[in-house]
Structure formats: C-alpha cells, structure tokens
A and B are shown apart, each in its own frame.
Chain A
Amino acid sequence: MSRNAPTGRPHVLWLALAGATSVALLASLYVIFFVAPVELQMGIVQKIFYFHVPSAYAMYVGYAICAVCSAVYLIKRKEAWDAWAVASAEVGTLFCMIVLITGPLWARKAWGVWWTWDPRLTTTLLAGMIFAAYLALRSFGGGGLAERRFAAGLAIVGLLDLPIVHFSVQRWRGQHPTVITNKGGGLQGDMVTALLVSLLAFTLLVALLVWTRAKIERDRQRVAEAEVEAAQRGLLEDS
C-alpha cells in the first residue's frame, strides 16, 4: 500500500498555481471594476460579461478534457485517466452552472427576459445536461467497469455538442451577442484587457480545480484498491 499511498503534503507546483490563481483573480476584479469602462447602452450589468465568457471557456476546457481523458481511458483502461475525466466533468459542470445562472441575470436587463430558447442557450443547456448525466451515472451507477465505459462514451458524445455550442451563434443567428469575432472590433480597448485578464485567471482556476479534484479522485481509487486487496488477504475482517 505504501507505494500508492496518498500524500498529505501539497505539491510545490500546486501551491504556485494556487497563488498565481488568487493573484490573477484579484487582478481581474480590479481591471473589471476600476479600469474597464461602463458600457454605453447596457450600463453596469455588462460587467457580468467579464466572468460569464471566461466561465463558458472554462466549461469548454473542462468538458473537452473529460472527453479526451475518457477516450484515452477506453483505449488504455488505466484508472488515472478515469480520475481525470471525472474531475474535469465535475469542474466543467460547475462552470456550466455559472454560465447558465449569470447569463439570465444579464439577459433580464439586456433582452428583457430571463431565458429564451436561443440556439446558444439551448445547446449550452444540452451540454450541461449531458455531462450532468455523466456525473449522475458515475455517482449512482455503482462504479463498475461497464458503467465507467458507458460514461466515457457519453462524455465523447458530449464533446460533439461543444462545437455546436460555439458556432451556433454564427450558424443560426440567435439573439446571443457575438462581440468576439475573428474580425475583431466588438470591444473597447480596456474591455479587451479586462476580458483577457479574466480569461487568464479562469485558465489558472480551471487547471487548479481539475488538478485538485483529479488528485482526490486518484487517492480515492488507490484507497479503494488497497481496501479490496487487504480484504482479499483477510486483513480487514475485524473492521
């Protein structure tokens, strides 16, 4: 057991990442509220944008990592990949919830309604539901090999929805704003700075959360393996 025992000490790189994430988040709040100007038509509610968009980006990252790790798990059948898949699905769903809550708060002011069945909103909700189903399956499915493989397949299906979410605005011309385009020009200079700092902060945040959650999941897997091994050797009969 000692070979695979979970360690209690935080990794130096983890501490550095946690510190960098904290600094980046504080910097993003400063730039959002003290540097970026108030938007002309929507007013102060537009500042939701600076955390809403990076949250959507973090959701993409989490779900993409989940799908890739699930695919590798199906090929290599190593538990570590499964741990990374579960971790990133959970973090992706956290950011999906943030997107689906902050979006309507902005829409109430900008569109006059909390929700509309716009292509991007609908496909984002669909992505969230697919990965919520993944997590439900992992949680209530019993944790067997078949459930893990089925969940991995579901994550790969969920990945197919992500390009649809991203390109839905361009393809189906919904109400959702498209200020970030290849042509540029949709944002004032300081607004771009605020968005970029927030994107950096959320990149670090999603990396930190996925890493932390994956380590915990890996530790849980090792404890479960050790328990099974000890029980098979008759060492845990009294517990």
Chain B
Amino acid sequence: MRAFLSTCALAFALMTVSAPLAAAQDPDPAAERSTSFQAVEGPQVQDVPGGTLMVAAYGVIWVLLLLYVLRLGMMQARTAREVERLHSSLARADGGEASGKD
C-alpha cells in the first residue's frame, strides 16, 4: 500500500509542479492572439493530433484501472497469506498446549 500511495503522492506532486511550468512554457494562445497576428509557415496542417490524444486518454484510463485491480488482487493474496500464517501459528500453539497437558 505504501508503494502505491507513494506513487499517488509523487504523481500529484509532479502535476502540481509541472502544471505551472508547462503553462509558463506554452504561452496562452488566446493571449497571444490578442497581441499579435502571425503568418502561417509551411503547409497549413492540423498540429494537434486528436486521435492520438483520445487513444492516450483511453489507454491511461484502462492502464490505471487494471493496475488498481492488480493491486487489489495482491492485497487480497497478502491478507490470505497472513490468515494462513496466523492459523498455522495458532495450530502450533494449540498442539504445544495439548502436548503440555499430556
């Protein structure tokens, strides 16, 4: 759980730090349009690939969901191992008590 939470905390920290940096690097197009008009250079093509962004978004969603389900499975398995260990410890203790009575 610590590793997951550390990853979450790191992801949020990165978002918090990188968002203003990204905003500083990419000037606001609306603000730019209000202060200058610039000519197109080269062929006029769409520079932001919508399909790639959409695939990336759905990919991220499924990867995060699958990783979380995997994490739940690992936690469940760890808990089952703990129960098993506890059972065997108690069984040994019971056996020791029984042999002590004999």
Q: Which residues of A are at the interface with B, using a C-beta cutoff of 8 A?
A: 1, 5-6, 8, 42-45, 47-48, 51-52, 55, 91, 93-94, 97-98, 100-102, 105-106, 108-109, 111-117, 125, 128-129, 132, 135-136, 139-140, 205, 209, 212-213, 216, 219-220, 223, 226-227, 230, 235-236, 238-239
Contact = CB atoms under 8 A, between A and B. Distances in A.
Interface string B1-34: 1100100110110011001001100101110000
A224 B61 CA distance: 33
A100 B11 CA distance: 10
Contact of B26 (A113, A125, A129, A132): A113
Contacts, number: 134
B79 A106 contact: no
A238 B92 contact: yes
B22 A114 contact: yes
B64 interface: yes
* Interface range, B side: 35 or more
A105 B82 CA distance: 42
B50 A109 contact: yes
B28 A220 contact: no
B7 to A, nearest CB: 10
Main DSSP-derived SS at the A contact region:
helix
A19 to B, nearest CB: 15
B60 interface: yes
8 contacts: A55-B61, A91-B68, A97-B64, A106-B53, A140-B5, A213-B72, A223-B79, A239-B85
Main DSSP-derived SS at the B contact region:
helix
Task: Name which of B8, B29, B72 has the most chain A CB atoms within 10 A of its CB.
Answer: B8
The 4 closest A-B pairs by CB, nearest first: A45-B50, A235-B93, A112-B29, A115-B19
A94 B68 contact: yes
A227 B5 CA distance: 25
B37 interface: no
Nearest to B97: A235
B54 A48 contact: yes
B80 A8 contact: yes
Contacts of A239: 85, 89
A108 B51 CA distance: 12
Given A98-B64, A108-B53, A129-B12, A216 B23 contact: no
B13 to A, nearest CB: 9
A98 B66 CA distance: 12
B54 to A, nearest CB: 5
A44 B29 contact: no
Interface in B73-99: 75-76, 79-80, 82-83, 85-86, 89-90, 92-93
